[in-house]
Structure 1
């Protein structure tokens, strides 16, 4: 048997192990990091560790979720529902239904204003059989057509002719002999003048005062005796000309001018352009514009209230053919290019044109201006009568279509020698005409709206 002192020594040796000393030269290797998700030593019973001392031998155990199991948490709000809770669903549904109802009404109301018109064909011209004189009239004048235009219009094949199944309207230079010497052009003598005014039929060159005959020749054709419509559609497929100071136009005038002389009876400009290039500040052959003219006199023409331009996309209207169209009814009028979806000008006949114009009470002389339209009771007046179609290529002019001082304009509108100044600068502008200084028209179509003119 061991003595008390020996038992004490043995017990101490068992419970307190003696660590061997480590030489200072020996490198101590750090112990590996303990897995934070492993179960701590003290939480494992000694019987499971195999140690009689109860100290845990490290064992890795994965983390287990201690989420509350479904159904174990009380939810008293499910046992008793709030009576106002149903409105959280009802109110949004009501809002959706009301929105759908309003949308349906607006669509229905909009459709009531859209009239699907039926049409009767009036003209379908492709020029395959030449130029039909029963439809087309070549206007012959030297008066400048109220705009101070520089061209005289002829009825010769030099300026209007059919080639390759298309109508060509081509401006040409005047005979220099008629400009450099005293000459007179009298269209009354040969009976070719189509104007009833003598000043539009006679002109001359006077070398003393500097006046000259029209420096260029061109053509202007109309359908006044062959085709006209009161409400309907027009489509002209054409290529615009390329050249400085050219002024192509596709437009309409009234057959009978029921409400008085221009602009009382109106004018419809489907498409107008300029032959200058895109650098022209007012727009060259990359731009077409549409407008309507109306007013109690020429000094009070309200065309600017409806003038709209459309630019060609990455090209010009002289590079290829385009369809220039008009749709016109008793309620509205609009022009378009190529498709009715590409509208240029839109005019709604929703109020009298006298009201639209906001004209002054009197003219510059103090004479009171009189409303020439409202007595009809129709908001479309003066655009409620037969109109005919005109195709032409003008040159220059003194009405402001080409602004003074822009793009090297060689004349001034107010100058009495405007025509001669233009002629003297021909070495600058005539080379720009090249081979494309003409309007080429492939087809012209006109339809009459049913219910009018016997349609």
Structure 2
């Protein structure tokens, strides 16, 4: 009896299976066709934070909202015009510009649908107020603030045939009366004849673009080599000089009062850096001076006491478009510091403050 019923409805069963198969095939084919469509009608609208008739470039916050629409788009990539890019699954995004002043940015948006894409660009002008984003005023006596600094420790020349052994002892590094003091000494210590200190903000603070400002008084003795400088955050993976190095201030005790502003990068490293020297109006070893850079995507400008003495043209092929951390140290001798005065006993490198502005 069951066989008879099945035979009766068998043609209808086969027809139903065929229709279901055709329907499924059409559905899958339609989905595939949709995925292969190139996005179209890409539109980018921007809303600058605080924009008014009196403040056409915004209120200084640097915040810009982006509203992006496109037919058939599933994802977007946004290039904000300052070297930063962002992948987005939504057309509504916000970004905060950091470079102080009034600047133009070319925004490029690419809309994707699988392997298909389309792009468009718009230009905006954004005003950002100058503000302090990080600082150490060295106002608390004792060891430097561990929230801001770590130490390089040990000897070995540090790649420059230097003679010191870096420590974190109070004998070599201490904050007193509102000033950070790095004290280089002649003493026998763990196989070295000299000691000093090197502080780094690595892992604590780094920055991409901005104004970095130090106020410092330099040691005077022959063989001392104080420096205020920066290395790229990718130092441990890219190595030097691929990571880039920005020497905001270097000084040789053997060439008193001659300040070096220098950059190291592939092709311009070691004995062939891009460097400029300047002499301040008063002695750098008896008076405090302000050493600073204004670092942007298109240029790095070096200042002493707010007087420009070096302009370096930056571009996207160079390593100076990523985050860098800060370093303060005083080396002894080496390939740059030169011969150490045989009568040297000790000398102090003093830093009043470090301030970083957007």
Tell me the TM-score normalised to structure 2 length.
0.60
Q: Could you tell me which of 265, 277, 283 is aligned with 1:309?
A: 277
Q: Could you tell me which of 240, 248, 251 is aligned with 2:218?
A: 240
Shift of residue 429, structure 1, vs aligned partner = 2.9
Alignment of 1:330 onto 2:308: no
Alignment of 1:290 onto 2:301: no
Gaps of 5+ in 2: 1-101, 105-124
Counterpart contact for 1:294–1:303, Cα < 8 Å = no
- Segments of 4+ moved more than 6 angstroms: 111-116
Counterparts of 1:393 and 1:295, CA distance in 2: 25
Tell me the TM-score normalised to structure 1 length.
0.48
Shift of residue 258, structure 1, vs aligned partner = 8.2
Counterparts of 1:112 and 1:438, CA distance in 2: 41
Q: Could you tell me which of 252, 255, 259 is aligned with 1:274?
A: 252
Alignment of 1:228 onto 2:206: yes
CA 1:218–1:305 in 2, change beyond 3 Å: closer, same or farther? closer
Alignment of 1:122 onto 2:100: no
Counterparts of 1:250 and 1:306, CA distance in 2: 16
Counterparts of 1:257 and 1:249, CA distance in 2: 18
Shift of residue 393, structure 1, vs aligned partner = 0.7
Shift of residue 152, structure 1, vs aligned partner = 0.5
Counterparts of 1:293 and 1:329, CA distance in 2: 17
Shift of residue 259, structure 1, vs aligned partner = 7.2
Counterparts of 2:127 and 2:289, CA distance in 1: 25
Shift of residue 173, structure 1, vs aligned partner = 1.8
Shift of residue 225, structure 1, vs aligned partner = 2.2
More helix by share: 1
Counterpart contact for 1:323–1:338, Cα < 8 Å = yes
Residue in 2 that maps onto 1:374 = none
Q: What RMSD in Å do the two structures reach over aligned CA positions?
A: 2.5
Counterparts of 1:303 and 1:334, CA distance in 2: 22
Residue in 2 that maps onto 1:429 = 343
Q: Could you tell me which of 137, 142, 145 is aligned with 2:158?
A: 145
Q: How many pairs align?
A: 235
Q: Note the alpha carbon deviations across 1:287-325, whole angstroms, 9 max, x for none.
A: 1001100116xxx62774521000122x32001001110
Q: Note the alpha carbon deviations across 1:3-22, whole angstroms, 9 max, x for none.
A: xxxxxxxxxxxxxxxxxxxx
More strand by share: 2
Counterparts of 1:246 and 1:115, CA distance in 2: 44
Shift of residue 145, structure 1, vs aligned partner = 1.2
Residue in 1 that maps onto 2:186 = 173
Shift of residue 286, structure 1, vs aligned partner = 1.0
Alignment of 1:345 onto 2:259: no
Counterpart contact for 1:294–1:302, Cα < 8 Å = no
SS at match of 2:277: strand
SS at match of 1:307: strand
Shift of residue 242, structure 1, vs aligned partner = 1.2
Gaps of 5+ in 1: 1-110, 179-184, 186-212, 277-283, 352-377, 403-408, 410-421, 450-455
Alignment of 1:163 onto 2:176: yes
